[in-house]
Amino acid sequence: KAEISKMASNVPQSDAECTCPVCCDIFTDPVLLLCGHSFCQHCLQEWWRQSSQRTCPVCKEMFHMTHPPRNLALRNLSDSLRQERSKRAGSKEICLLHGETFKLFCQIDQQPICVICRDSKTHTKHKCVPINEAAEEYRVKIQTNVSSLKTKQGVFEKQKTDWENMATLIKLQAQQTEKTIKGEFQKLYHFLRNEEAGRIDDCRREAKLKSDAMNVRITNLTAEISELKENIKTIEDQMRAEDLSFILSAKSTLVRSLCKLQEPETPEGCLVNVGKHVGNLQFSVLQKMAGIVAYTPVFLDPNTCYSSLTVSENLTSSTESDKNQPYYSNPERMCSRNLLGYQGFNSGSHSWDVKVEVGDFWAVGVADKTGKDIWAMYVCVCTSVLRNLTNQDYSTEIKVEALPQKVRVQLNYNQGIISFFDLDKNKTVHAIKCSFTEKVFPYFQGRVKILPSDTSVNLGRPR
């Protein structure tokens, strides 16, 4: 009895109720004696076999029954305790080597350890800190990454909004382009029925392709935003976990918090090529309907137009808008009342006539696709003086008796010369010598109108 009492005293108080006094382990098929003591059925039978008497192993009271009744309540309680012990044995919070709870974190090996591990040869020279300090350090690092993720989410959501607006604009452009095409074809309706249908089909096909492409981008961006949101939610949930649970997954959480998604970029040419459908529309069928069409050697690209300007339906003039048009940051868009012609030149000689607004600030010339390199002349806003306009010189005054109202721009790309003529006085106003290295486009500022050129059935040189 003394041996049994000694063994039982080593059992934790929480497990004592379900511990057999003989084997000092959780009951297995417990039976109940009349004295009130319970034992494992196997332990009691073995005790009786060894002692040759049917006595209680605890109080030594004699019994004559061969098979004591089972203690079902104690069996259920013991089974529950056994399952709980099994879970604790497989818990990640317990050191498998020493059976101690993890309370420290080894900064060298980047893993949680117990106090016995700290004093072992493996970690004795390593820097170890409490779990809560290590967890806080990881939380700070991950929170920084989460802030970056949230910023990127904001960028993505703004880009998504821009693309959704662009998708709406594509549809509006397609509708306006279709209306313009129909208006032009009304003049030639009976003769050009088939041509009209073909142009509209091309416009709709392009609009559908670009709308579909934009919708795919929006869908993909939406998926990436959802992925970011889910990733952030998962990370934040993990960061709210208990320190030990958090630190066990800190490495993977840190990796998860690093965003690998690329910034969304708006591709060039995502909008409808209005100029392709509308520009020189009548001239393209001039040989069939000579004499009733107008031809301009260049025409404006509304996709480059600044928000304060509006381009006419036939793409030959720009006017001030009563209110700013919706601004979309597509790569072709210009700034500060600037806009470009739709067609660019990288060789040969070209000319076009422009009517400018009297008493207004204006500029005409050529520029590269981005509008950073400009070769033009302009009227100064403050002094109403005609000046040279290049990247190197925008202050040289051009001496004229009166400001021109109609200007012919002549470009000789191969020789690197751009000249300006006053059409009313039929004289050269200014010339710029330059060296072109890439395609240049007609360049305009302010309210301008491109004048039509004389045409014939066989295309000749513009006058």
318 token code pair: 């720009």
Closest CA to 200 of 265, 281, 311: 281
CB within 8 A of 228, min separation 6: which ones?
149, 152, 153, 156, 259, 261
pLDDT at 461 over 70: no
**According to the model, what pLDDT value does residue 349 have?**
94
In sequence order, what are the residues at sequence separation of 6 or more whose Cβ sits closer than 8 angstroms to the Cβ of residue 145? 235, 254, 257, 258, 259
Q: Given the DSSP bridges, would you call strands 386-390 and 406-412 parallel, antiparallel or unpaired?
A: unpaired
Q: Can you give the pTM of this predicted structure?
A: 0.56
Q: What is the per-residue pLDDT for 300?
A: 93
Residue 165 DSSP one-character state: H
pLDDT value at position 448?
92
pLDDT at 7 over 60: no
**Which residues have C-beta within 8 Å of that of residue 282, sequence separation ≥ 6?**
184, 187, 188, 289, 292, 293, 294, 295
Mean pLDDT of 97-117: 85
Lowest mean pLDDT among 178-182, 289-293, 325-329, 441-445: 325-329
pLDDT, residue 333, reads 83
Q: Supply the pLDDT for residue 9.
A: 42
Rounded to an integer, the average pLDDT of 124-147 is: 91
Distance from C-alpha of 314 to C-alpha of 327, rounded to nearest angstrom: 21
Average pLDDT, the chain: 84
Q: What percent of the chain has pLDDT over 90?
A: 31
Closest to 352 measured CA to CA, from 295, 303, 302: 295
Any idea which of 94-98, 365-369, 449-453 has the lowest mean pLDDT?
A: 94-98
Q: Is the pLDDT of residue 287 over 80?
A: no
Report the Cα–Cα distance between both ends of the chain, in Å, rounded: 127
| Lowest-pLDDT range of 35-44, 186-195, 262-271 | 186-195
Nearest to 164 by CA among 156, 176, 175, 152: 156
At residue 13, the pLDDT reads 45
The enclosing H or E element of 162 equals helix 131-186
Q: Residues 61, 64, 66, CA angle at the centre, nearest 5°?
A: 120
If you average pLDDT over residues 291-319, what whole number do you get? 86
The mean pLDDT of 106-127, rounded to a whole number, is 86
